[in-house]
Amino acid sequence: MAPCSWCGQDTVVRWHQQWLRRCWTERSRQKQSGRPRTDAAIRALIDKMASVNPLWGAPRIHGDLRKLGIDVSERTVSRIVARFPRPPSQTWRTFLTNHIAAIVSMDFFTVPTLTGDVLFVLVLLAHRRR
């Protein structure tokens, strides 16, 4: 169908196409979804609390933030704290070396005698003397 010169049919079709293009562009635009991001000052405070107190977990930091009047979920705190690894714990060798004076081995057994009696034997071995 040829466009009509006196009614401007091509103009109306063009306007409609432009309108549709604007509508679909608006609908397909990326919208902000999910929870809003945690404020940078709160993230910095959580980072500082976690780095100064490496043995504190998310529940403890969350509790202290609640005492300060900062309303943030424990899950959010745990996601921020997860980036800080815990300091390495001591090895078994180090533990045994540090506690050798307090470690004692014990054994209990029975010994039958020639007369048929039974002797009960308790052996305690202090490891610091070994």
Q: Is the pLDDT of residue 125 over 80?
A: yes
Do 46 and 77 share a structural domain?
yes
Residue 25 in domain: no
Contact of 30 with 42, CB cutoff 8 Å? no
Only one residue has tokens 């403890």, namely 60
pTM, to two decimals: 0.43
Cβ neighbours of 62 (radius 10 Å): 21
The encoded tokens of residue 110 equal 């029975």
Do 76 and 109 share a structural domain?
no
**Three-state secondary-structure class, residue 98:** helix
The burial class, CB within 10 Å (0-12 / 13-18 / 19+), for 46 is: buried
Residue 18 in domain: no
Residue 119 in domain: yes
State the Cα–Cα distance between residues 38 and 44, nearest whole angstrom: 10
Q: What is the DSSP letter of 89?
A: P
Residue 26 in domain: no
Residue 112 in domain: yes
| pLDDT, mean of residues 24-36 | 79
Residue 67 in domain: yes
Residue 4 in domain: no
Q: What is the pLDDT of residues 48-106, one digit of tens each?
A: 998 898 888 899 999 999 999 999 999 999 998 876 666 788 888 898 888 888 888 89
Residue 28 in domain: no
- In the chain, the number of structural domains is 2
| pLDDT, mean of residues 2-29 | 79
Structural domain harbouring 48: 40-81
| pLDDT on residue 64 | 93
The fraction of the chain above a pLDDT of 90, given in percent, is 37
Do 76 and 45 share a structural domain?
yes
Contact of 46 with 65, CB cutoff 8 Å? yes
